[in-house]
Amino acid sequence: MVAHRAYGRGILSSFFSDLLGTLFDRNLLRSSGDDGRAIEAICAELISVHGEVTGVKDATAVLSRYHGMNEAEKTAFFDYLTEMLDVDSDAIAAAVEAYREEPDRANYSKLMQVSEPLRQELLRRLNQVPGATAALVQMRVDLLRMLKDKPEYGRTDADFRHMFGSWFNRGFLVMRRISWETPANILEKIIQYEAVHAINDWDDLRGRMQPSDRRCYAFFHPVMPEEPLIFVEVALTRGIPNSIQMILKDKREVLAPHQANTAVFYSISNCQTGLKGISFGNSLIKQVAADLAAEMPQLKSFVTLSPVPGFGRWLESVSEDEAIGRIANAILKRSRQDLMDGVDAEEIRMLVARYLVEEKRKDGLPLDPVARFHLGNGAQLFDIHARADVSAKGVATARGAMVNYLYDLGEVAENHEAFVNEKKIVASKPVRQLVRALGKRGRELKSENA
Amino acid sequence: MVAHRAYGRGILSSFFSDLLGTLFDRNLLRSSGDDGRAIEAICAELISVHGEVTGVKDATAVLSRYHGMNEAEKTAFFDYLTEMLDVDSDAIAAAVEAYREEPDRANYSKLMQVSEPLRQELLRRLNQVPGATAALVQMRVDLLRMLKDKPEYGRTDADFRHMFGSWFNRGFLVMRRISWETPANILEKIIQYEAVHAINDWDDLRGRMQPSDRRCYAFFHPVMPEEPLIFVEVALTRGIPNSIQMILKDKREVLAPHQANTAVFYSISNCQTGLKGISFGNSLIKQVAADLAAEMPQLKSFVTLSPVPGFGRWLESVSEDEAIGRIANAILKRSRQDLMDGVDAEEIRMLVARYLVEEKRKDGLPLDPVARFHLGNGAQLFDIHARADVSAKGVATARGAMVNYLYDLGEVAENHEAFVNEKKIVASKPVRQLVRALGKRGRELKSENA
Amino acid sequence: MVAHRAYGRGILSSFFSDLLGTLFDRNLLRSSGDDGRAIEAICAELISVHGEVTGVKDATAVLSRYHGMNEAEKTAFFDYLTEMLDVDSDAIAAAVEAYREEPDRANYSKLMQVSEPLRQELLRRLNQVPGATAALVQMRVDLLRMLKDKPEYGRTDADFRHMFGSWFNRGFLVMRRISWETPANILEKIIQYEAVHAINDWDDLRGRMQPSDRRCYAFFHPVMPEEPLIFVEVALTRGIPNSIQMILKDKREVLAPHQANTAVFYSISNCQTGLKGISFGNSLIKQVAADLAAEMPQLKSFVTLSPVPGFGRWLESVSEDEAIGRIANAILKRSRQDLMDGVDAEEIRMLVARYLVEEKRKDGLPLDPVARFHLGNGAQLFDIHARADVSAKGVATARGAMVNYLYDLGEVAENHEAFVNEKKIVASKPVRQLVRALGKRGRELKSENA
Amino acid sequence: MVAHRAYGRGILSSFFSDLLGTLFDRNLLRSSGDDGRAIEAICAELISVHGEVTGVKDATAVLSRYHGMNEAEKTAFFDYLTEMLDVDSDAIAAAVEAYREEPDRANYSKLMQVSEPLRQELLRRLNQVPGATAALVQMRVDLLRMLKDKPEYGRTDADFRHMFGSWFNRGFLVMRRISWETPANILEKIIQYEAVHAINDWDDLRGRMQPSDRRCYAFFHPVMPEEPLIFVEVALTRGIPNSIQMILKDKREVLAPHQANTAVFYSISNCQTGLKGISFGNSLIKQVAADLAAEMPQLKSFVTLSPVPGFGRWLESVSEDEAIGRIANAILKRSRQDLMDGVDAEEIRMLVARYLVEEKRKDGLPLDPVARFHLGNGAQLFDIHARADVSAKGVATARGAMVNYLYDLGEVAENHEAFVNEKKIVASKPVRQLVRALGKRGRELKSENA
């Protein structure tokens, strides 16, 4: 039976619906006129003492002006931000000296003030008109693109990132379920942003949103309500699946939620290039896991079904290896059909285990970026499957292999700590056995070679 | 006829209603257990590399622990924040030196990092659990109270203020109308927070919320949906009112909105002590004025009916003045009944004009705080009324006088600029005449005295 | 942890919010002009073939016209409804004859058509403009008032009642919790409509709405969203309370909901005179009981704390009774203070038991209306308390007595059936013992008298 | 600038969102157990005196039972409704006699009671559980299908229709805009229910929902929030369009709404077979027109672009006609390409004019059903276009012709009245000229033939 909500919640609901009018207006930025002032002049006024009073007009003008700029004009604008609104080293040096001598509030405030570049204040003052936050996130997309040719923009980018880190603080994000009852304009973005297993069309999308054993969750920010920041697709299953084909196949028996014992995170995609470097994935996975656990207490396992994006490249790099080169070479030569048929399946599993457990970057962390993400979150490397993603992409990047990382909410803190402090990779017994088996095989091959 | 909303708006509405669950939970902070660790140890972990992964638990623990602290424990906690999480002057000095030599991204980032105190990162990481923002605002209420005895906390307070300035950026605030259809728990806070003309009871409140010629608007932040940040009460009138009694009287003829030609801001109250120093009033008044102008194009004037809180005190200070002391003294001796009857009305007006236009602080700005606020916003000092607030408080603080400041949206930018740059007080002709008239009278009296 | 809602629910939420614009408009009915036609002429057009096309204008005109009528005009209008829009007996007689001979669709439809009075079609056609339903409910309030002097209006009233029964069908009603977070304009109506234990002021109201061990629920209809139809106030308690003073006292310890084992329905009030004869109470109580049981599985008992409105009058009527007259007389003479002190408490309990269990109307049902209601719903007469309502009203009507009726959801169907079929009153053992004890005492007294 | 809504509207919004829980539950009907009783027995109990108290359980049981029935069982159930729950002619005859003698309330109520078949009360009592209304609408879909073989079900169907007419009264319907921001599950139904110009896929749908010069509106009922009852698609244009190709073409310049001067209703579709005979189209068109006029005062014309579904058939029927047979024959022989090229365009226009203006049914109303609908609503036959719908369907049914009906809100009442009372077809001057031109041509041809 339904628990009835008090009026109060509704209030809040309604309260937030007003954000529509005040926080979010897609058209505003296009409508502002041009009063002939240079954008730099407007920026200068905006960060001056007048900025608090005349700010809305100026902020609108800057964002509107930027919206209409070509590449050269944008470059000039970012040059301005980078060079003219930088910190003043001398001022900082003087302020820190003063603070060292007399650490009172005045000196502290002065130090804080001069050590924050004007760019940051500019961002805050721009962000007072409806739609500004989204426009600034979009501005950073441009900035990141130009960064390759203009490394000095790195300083400006650092300020965008810092400011966004504060604005997109976890406490301000909202998790929402995405379903077949979600508005089409949002669903369209899910199609567009899906980065792991492409969604072909609306039927494919419906297949991932509508059945009772499929879920999708996203983070949103109140000022960008039509823009998911990150989303994760979940399958409710009996047992841990060993291939993405099982999850995505067209005709399959749909499970009633109460029959499921496992929640599989089979795709997680960041949506906003402009929020690069601000990490949402760890929070999202854990929030979804916690919520699903509360809703369906019968769920026993929370696992991913993850790609191994660096495996193919690594495999090529070891093709000359004395011990395992021959195995690697054999696998590299297999056709897609061979891989679908399961040829060399065990060898692939062993090599993936080796790749994930033993291959490291200079900093001692795993070579594979997906492994770094999940292990860094405190997950366990749980299982490895061959012929698990036999799409063209899956074969090209990982010879069809996929991996289950297990999120045991009772162990993530400990795993994470071991990973960070000791670079320890927590792997299940079967995975460790795969590594050992490969070692043994490698030694045999090596001695054969010798 | 009603314009029908598309489903999309509803979606967003619903979208925000989920904030309830995720952003806002009053009870969470009380429910967390105590695992025996010192709060400083938890804070240290929270700002360490583990903070991003284990953060929710730690943040909840810190806030929950703080919630139960006594004054001594809070002092110890703020001591910790102030002394242990301060910036490292040597590190800044070194970083600024490195940056001066090689201003690349790495050195820039290093400089930014060391010049931001750990306190700020701690605040961001605390702010990842539902209800944290409100709890941190409340924490600053404690801090501000202790600040008197512990001036060194000023550094910590500066960081709270800086962080709140970013979080409560205008772009994240929502303006909502408050009316008789607003939930009782919010209305109760309006009663509680009203700081200018006290609301006696629910009938008094209804009289300010329900009639068609009364409005009330407030700013809210999405994560504190039950807490107004600031609110303004508005009366729609024909003509500019010359007393608060006209506005607040019990039995009065209610105007249909289309009959009104004037919007009177007769009370504006900040609600959150913990957000001291973050200014919302200017934005709120202008947003309300702009919205009312769009809704009711027949409105011709947007004025305040404002108190003159410093007038009484100033009057006493000039009682010995050669020129105007005699007038001041006479006024100071009038009974409340005299003032109600209009005795010395013109003299009061002249003295208020003089007080507001000519009496300055050391920095050249007006002595009167309300004048500083409205003139700084770009309003004009428009008119002055005697026997305009004959409540005990109105008589005690300002001998019954009140003031209209006029917000002409076409002139506020210019007025503001003149005020900031030249300390110029923009006053209407009648007000300037009052000043001159007093000057003349003063000279006469002085010569009489002589 | 919060279960996150899909967008879809939000949609629906938003969907319904549009009802505001289209279903509900308080001002519409006042705004319609007068085109000089007699209201009867407009009604005639409205129920003619043109009614479907020109209906909105006509319906608005009729309701607007009615809104401005004085008593005499309303009488003329109801005369018209009663006499001119009645069924045509001859037509029915002819149609039933035709149908008897040839029971096909055409004859059936003809019979249905002529046996429905035009009044009903008029009501349906009036009900196509925003606010019409509420206006028609209000129209019936007038009708019911006039009915006393104009019994012939009973026919018209029967049609209103029939139509409202269809429109306010349980399937169209919505149960909502009322709380301290409910809008003030709705709460104000709770104060106004409370019919059992008057709510003195907003503090009294807050005491019934805000504490965690108090609940209030109401039924609403989508087209009258600001008008509760019926509401019930609930106290969550440990054990079954034996007085209303315990429930309503000012200073009391508030229970956390999980500590409660009993839900007490201590006040239930119908709100709409115009919906007289359409019963909502049974549905509301059972829905609330079912929902509370789902939300708080630890609740063991669902009981009322009910008045005994007819007890005082009955007591007077038996004051001459040979057996119990002396006891009745003694009780009738007790002062309010005596009753508060518990004088004759057991005698009162016995007499109330006798009154409720044995005193019947001609149709064999209990004399007491509250008993008829709860027993008819399938509740059990569970316990009887003296000095349970020592307010002036409680003493005057029932010498301070109150009753617990127990709703055991597993037994209500059976109890109800026994009550309806056999007029059996299901009473607990203690209550039956009270009856027997009185019988014994009565026999003793009678023999004494003899 | 945004007009800010008071909290109150939000409340109501939230209020209605609770309908979700209480009014609408798709799963309920499947979950009810089977207690072995025959459905007829449950129905009998439901309409007995116990129905009001035990009704929820019984109603759920009946609907759940019905949900699982096969065709034969459904037939048995409808037989029961038709034969066992019919009116009792003798009782009506007796009651009407009594009422004729003594027309008091008692006799009136008795008459009303016996002349309403028990089926209607059954429907009302079934309609007390969430989802019941939709289930009953679906039940009528079955009934209508069986009606062909079982004409006696017509009586039962008449009762469904009567009850639905009361429940789906205009006053209870809500108009909602459908847009690209509408949930996918609702949009999917728009694709499915579109009956005039088929929507091929989601891209086609987006092209009708998303552009700023396209609108779609639907009626909903609060208890069936996921089911549109009827919807209309609107194009905002400059000038009145003369072909559907202009409206639906893929690449076209999108108009800003303020540039449009015409609103074109180019498709209107009923969605619910089970609501056959209950007319929503007239209300919807007028509400949309009124709302668009309020939102965009620059709109000058509200016209349809409508099919002429009966034209092709009629054309064949006159192929032997002395006067116009030769023209008709020529047109009938044209290929689709010819029609697309505009061959015989003027002849087609003349014949359509003749068909619409002069060809009548026995009752004197136009032969063409779309003409009957719009002219009956009070629209004017405004213009006729050849090669206006050159889809296969458009060519097959109407040789590519389409028609504009003009809704002039100031004239619809008068036009409607003339249409109903005098069967007068209000046509524009150009259309009347087409009729005359054809008459002239016909006379010429006839004399040639002679």
Residues pairing with D214 in the sheet: D235
In one-letter notation, the amino acid at residue A149 is: D
Q: How far is CA C228 from CA C133, C297, D13, D276, in A?
A: 14, 28, 15, 34
Whether the predicted pLDDT of B328 surpasses 60: yes
Tell me how many degrees the CA angle C356-C357-C361 measures, rounded to the nearest 5: 75
CB contact burial C155-189 (16+ within 10 A = b; e otherwise): bbbbbbbbbbebbbbbbbbbbbbbbbbbbbbbbbb
Q: What three-state secondary structure class fits C217?
A: strand
CA–CA separation, D101 vs B189, rounded Å?
66
Chain D contact probe: residue of C53, C365, C412 with most D CBs at under 10 A:
C53
Neighbours of chain C (3+ CB pairs under 8 A): A, B, D
| C2 neighbourhood in chain B, CB within 8 Å | 21-22
- What is the reported pLDDT for D27? 44
- What is the reported pLDDT for C396? 94
- What is the reported pLDDT for C30? 44
User: Are residues B50 and A105, on separate chains, in Cβ contact within 8 Å?
Assistant: no
User: With the C-alpha atoms ordered C381, C386, C390, C393, is the resulting torsion angle positive or negative?
Assistant: positive
Question: Given pLDDT bands bounded at 50, 70 and 90, which one contains residue A450?
Answer: low
CA–CA separation, B15 vs A374, rounded Å?
29
Q: How far is CA C268 from CA C274, C301, C372, C374, C403, in A?
A: 17, 18, 15, 11, 14
- What is the reported pLDDT for D367? 95
User: Are residues C53 and D11, on separate chains, in Cβ contact within 8 Å?
Assistant: no
Across the interface, of D2, D180, D183, the residue whose CB is closest to A182 is D183
| D6 neighbourhood in chain B, CB within 8 Å | 177-179, 181-182
| D187 neighbourhood in chain A, CB within 8 Å | 184
> Hey, what are D20's tokens?
């979700």
Q: What is the pLDDT averaged over residues D306-312? A: 95
Q: Which of C376, C367, C235, C362 is nearest to C301 (CA)?
A: C235
Q: What three-state secondary structure class fits C360?
A: strand
> Hey, what are B229's tokens?
């940040």
User: Are residues A6 and C177, on separate chains, in Cβ contact within 8 Å?
Assistant: yes
Across the interface, of D2, D9, D22, the residue whose CB is closest to A14 is D9
User: Are residues D294 and B4, on separate chains, in Cβ contact within 8 Å?
Assistant: no
Question: Given pLDDT bands bounded at 50, 70 and 90, which one contains residue A120?
Answer: very high
Quote the mean pLDDT of chain A. Answer: 89
| B178 neighbourhood in chain D, CB within 8 Å | 6-7
Whether the predicted pLDDT of D60 surpasses 50: yes
**How crowded is residue C236: how many other Cβ atoms within 10 Å of its Cβ?**
23
Residue B215 and residue B257 in contact, taking contact as beta carbons nearer than 8 Å: no
Q: What three-state secondary structure class fits A166?
A: helix
* 3-state secondary structure string across chain B: CCCCCEHHHHHHHHHHHCHHHHHCCCCHHHHCCCCCCCHHHHHHHHCCCCHHHHHHHHHHHHHHHHHCCCHHHHHHHHHHHHHHCCCCHHHHHHHHHHHHHCCCHHHHHHHHHHHCCHHHHHHHHHCCCCCHHHHHHHHHHHHHHHHCCCCCHHHHHHHHHHHHHHHCCHHHCEEEECCCCCEHHHHHHHHHHCCCCCCCCHHHHHHHHCCCCEEEEEEECCCCCCCCCEEEEEEEECCCCCCHHHHHCCCCCCCCHHHCCEEEEEEEEECCHHHCCCCCHHHHHHHHHHHHHHHCCCCCEEEECECCCCHHHHHHHCCCCCCCHHHHHHHHHCCHHHHHHCCCHHHHHHHHHHHHHHCECCCCCECCHHHHHHHHCCCEEEEEECCCCCCHHHHHHHCCCEEEEECCCCCHHHHHHHHHHHCCCCECHHHHHHHHHHHHHHHHHHHHHC
User: Are residues D167 and C163, on separate chains, in Cβ contact within 8 Å?
Assistant: no
- What is the reported pLDDT for D450? 67
Residue A172 and residue B223 in contact, taking contact as beta carbons nearer than 8 Å: yes
Q: What is the pLDDT averaged over residues B210-228? A: 94
CA–CA separation, A296 vs A288, rounded Å?
12
- What is the reported pLDDT for B4? 35
| B175 neighbourhood in chain A, CB within 8 Å | 18, 22
Residue C263 and residue C299 in contact, taking contact as beta carbons nearer than 8 Å: yes
Across the interface, of A4, A176, A180, the residue whose CB is closest to C217 is A4
Q: What is the pLDDT averaged over residues A263-282? A: 94
Q: Which of B12, B63, B33, B225 is nearest to A172 (CA)?
A: B225
Across the interface, of C15, C132, C226, the residue whose CB is closest to D225 is C15
> Hey, what are D331's tokens?
């047109």
Question: Given pLDDT bands bounded at 50, 70 and 90, which one contains residue D5?
Answer: very low
User: Are residues C2 and A291, on separate chains, in Cβ contact within 8 Å?
Assistant: yes
| A4 neighbourhood in chain D, CB within 8 Å | 18, 21-22
Q: What is the pTM of this model?
A: 0.89
CA distance B334 to chain A (A): 40
User: Are residues B178 and D7, on separate chains, in Cβ contact within 8 Å?
Assistant: yes
CA–CA separation, B383 vs B402, rounded Å?
9
DSSP per-residue codes, C101-138: H--SHHHHHHHHHHHS-HHHHHHHHHTTSTTHHHHHHH
Angle formed by the axes of helices C39-46 and C118-126, nearest 10°: 90
The residue annotated as part of the active site, out of B306, B317, B385, B428, is B306
User: Are residues A184 and D182, on separate chains, in Cβ contact within 8 Å?
Assistant: yes
Q: Which of A349, A357, A347 is nearest to A323 (CA)?
A: A347
> Hey, what are D436's tokens?
């005359």
Q: What is the pLDDT averaged over residues A382-400? A: 95
CA–CA separation, B259 vs B253, rounded Å?
12
CA–CA separation, C125 vs C116, rounded Å?
14
The residue annotated as part of the active site, out of C32, C221, C267, C374, is C374
> Hey, what are C424's tokens?
């059996």
CA–CA separation, A69 vs A66, rounded Å?
5
User: Are residues A11 and D7, on separate chains, in Cβ contact within 8 Å?
Assistant: yes
CA–CA separation, C244 vs C240, rounded Å?
11
The percent of residues in chain D predicted with pLDDT above 70, rounded, is 91
Whether the predicted pLDDT of C8 surpasses 90: no
CA distance C288 to chain A (A): 9
CA–CA separation, A228 vs A277, rounded Å?
16
> Hey, what are C121's tokens?
């079609």
Question: Given pLDDT bands bounded at 50, 70 and 90, which one contains residue B10?
Answer: very low
> Hey, what are B169's tokens?
């950026």
With a CB cutoff of 8 Å and minimum separation 6, the contacts of C122 are C43, C46, C47, C81, C85
Residue of C nearest to A17 (CA): C14
CA distance B304 to chain D (A): 21
| D13 neighbourhood in chain A, CB within 8 Å | 10, 13-14, 17
DSSP state at residue C449: H
User: Are residues B179 and D6, on separate chains, in Cβ contact within 8 Å?
Assistant: yes
User: Are residues D176 and B13, on separate chains, in Cβ contact within 8 Å?
Assistant: no
Neighbours of chain A (3+ CB pairs under 8 A): B, C, D
> Hey, what are D393's tokens?
């369907």
Q: How far is CA D104 from CA A235, A366, C86, C88, C150, in A?
A: 68, 92, 12, 14, 11
Across the interface, of D7, D176, D186, the residue whose CB is closest to B179 is D7
How many residues are there in chain D? Answer: 450
Whether the predicted pLDDT of D55 surpasses 50: yes
Query: Which helix (H) or strand (E) segment is C405 a member of?
Result: strand C402-406
In one-letter notation, the amino acid at residue C250 is: D
The percent of residues in chain C predicted with pLDDT above 70, rounded, is 91
Q: What are phi and psi of C77, to 5 degrees?
A: -65, -45
Q: Which of D232, D266, D268 is nearest to D247 (CA)?
A: D266
User: Are residues B108 and A155, on separate chains, in Cβ contact within 8 Å?
Assistant: yes
Between residues B30 and D15, the one the model is more confident about: B30
Q: Which of D295, D164, D316, D173 is nearest to D231 (CA)?
A: D173
Residues pairing with D406 in the sheet: D303, D380
User: Are residues C10 and B11, on separate chains, in Cβ contact within 8 Å?
Assistant: yes
Residue D401 and residue D348 in contact, taking contact as beta carbons nearer than 8 Å: yes
* 3-state secondary structure string across D147-195: HCCCCCHHHHHHHHHHHHHHHCCHHHCEEEECCCCCEHHHHHHHHHHCC
DSSP state at residue C262: E
Q: What three-state secondary structure class fits D275?
A: helix
User: Are residues B183 and A124, on separate chains, in Cβ contact within 8 Å?
Assistant: no
Across the interface, of B4, B175, B177, the residue whose CB is closest to D291 is B4
The percent of residues in chain A predicted with pLDDT above 70, rounded, is 91
Whether the predicted pLDDT of D301 surpasses 80: yes
D-side interface with A, Cβ within 8 Å? 2-5, 7, 9-11, 13-15, 17-18, 21-22, 180-185, 187, 201-202, 206, 209-210
- What is the reported pLDDT for B345? 95
pLDDT in tens, D142-175: 999 999 999 999 999 999 999 999 999 988 999 9
Whether the predicted pLDDT of A216 surpasses 90: yes
| B11 neighbourhood in chain C, CB within 8 Å | 7, 10-11, 14
The percent of residues in chain D predicted with pLDDT above 90, rounded, is 75
Residue of A nearest to C219 (CA): A4
Q: Which of D246, D241, D1 is nearest to B296 (CA)?
A: D1
| A15 neighbourhood in chain C, CB within 8 Å | none
**How crowded is residue C364: how many other Cβ atoms within 10 Å of its Cβ?**
8
CA distance B342 to chain C (A): 38
Question: Given pLDDT bands bounded at 50, 70 and 90, which one contains residue B28?
Answer: very low
Catalytic machinery residues of D: 306, 374
